[in-house]
Amino acid sequence: MARIPLAPAGTPGVADFRNPTLIPNFDRSVASGAGTVDHQSPAVFLANNPRVDATLSLVVGGTITNGNTPAITITCAALPGGSITFTYPVVTADTTTTVAEGFAKLINDSATAQNEGIYADLGGTGAGTTLVIHYGGPVGNQATLSSATLGTITLTPSSGSFSGGSGPVMAMNNFTYAAPGGSVQNYWYGQMYNLGNDLIAAMVRDGMPIG
């Protein structure tokens, strides 16, 4: 059987996964605004189009009772399995501040959270007991948070949904996506894309590998 050679440039308009993602030849072509079109690496593109995290704050209150197990669940279709839960086992020596710190440590030590750009710190009004959770970029706007207060500790979120995320998204793999009511577009691993909120929401809902 004769072998059909693969064209070095692949097939125009088709995401051919047999082709390598070449760097720097594969860097995005971006109009500079000065009448030129330049190649920009993902790092340069991100520097020129900075991302802002989606955030949500959570106030830890109530009273300490040994054995309480308050829990926080972040839900988003972009997460493996659709959600991630953090449970903090309260002990007698805890305060509401150490409970908030404990949740921050659980989130920041989680490999799943790190892979999705999720992290936490203390801040906001009443800094000692306010947990601020970050979800990277505009994908984070699709995430929601729920809490379970099993015992006398209270967890009061500022909202049920993350908000405020902006900037480009990154393709976490090569894929082709047909936008609802729009055209088919190829996306390439490691490349950054400025997309509308409706398109990002559709991609997250459909399980596309963006972050």
Q: Which domain holds residue 101?
A: 54-157
Chain centroid to CA 65: how far?
Answer: 34
Task: Read off the pLDDT of residues 180-210 as tens digits, 9 standing for 90 and up.
Answer: 877 888 898 888 999 999 999 999 999 999 9
43 domain-assigned: no
Cα–Cα distance measured from residue 140 to residue 118, given in angstroms and rounded to the nearest whole number: 9
* Residues belonging to the chain: 211
211 domain-assigned: yes
Cα–Cα distance measured from residue 17 to residue 78, given in angstroms and rounded to the nearest whole number: 22
Task: Read off the pLDDT of residues 115-145 as tens digits, 9 standing for 90 and up.
Answer: 999 999 998 666 678 999 999 999 999 999 9
17 domain-assigned: no
Q: Which of 119, 130, 122, 151 is nearest to 58 (CA)?
A: 130
Shared-domain flag, residues 96 and 131: yes
Shared-domain flag, residues 153 and 85: yes
| Res. 7 pLDDT band, cuts 50 70 90 | very low
Distance set, CA 78 to CA 5, 11, 100, 116, 177 (Å): 37, 30, 25, 8, 15
Task: Read off the pLDDT of residues 41-64 as tens digits, 9 standing for 90 and up.
Answer: 788 888 888 999 999 999 999 999
Q: What is the pLDDT of residue 39?
A: 75
Shared-domain flag, residues 134 and 60: yes
Shared-domain flag, residues 152 and 69: yes
Shared-domain flag, residues 94 and 117: yes
Shared-domain flag, residues 198 and 146: no
pTM attached to this predicted model: 0.82
Which pair of structure tokens corresponds to residue 147? 């809490």
Cα–Cα distance measured from residue 104 to residue 86, given in angstroms and rounded to the nearest whole number: 10
N-term to C-term CA, the chain: 42
Shared-domain flag, residues 103 and 187: no
Q: What is the pLDDT of residue 31?
A: 74
Q: What is the pLDDT of residue 38?
A: 74
Q: What is the CATH number of the domain that holds 79?
A: 3.30.70
175 domain-assigned: yes
> What is the DSSP secondary-structure string of 61-90?
EE---TT---EEEEE-TTSGGGEEEEE---
Structurally, how many domains does the chain consist of?
2
Contact 179, 185 (CB under 8 A): yes
Shared-domain flag, residues 174 and 150: no
Does 24 have pLDDT greater than 90? no
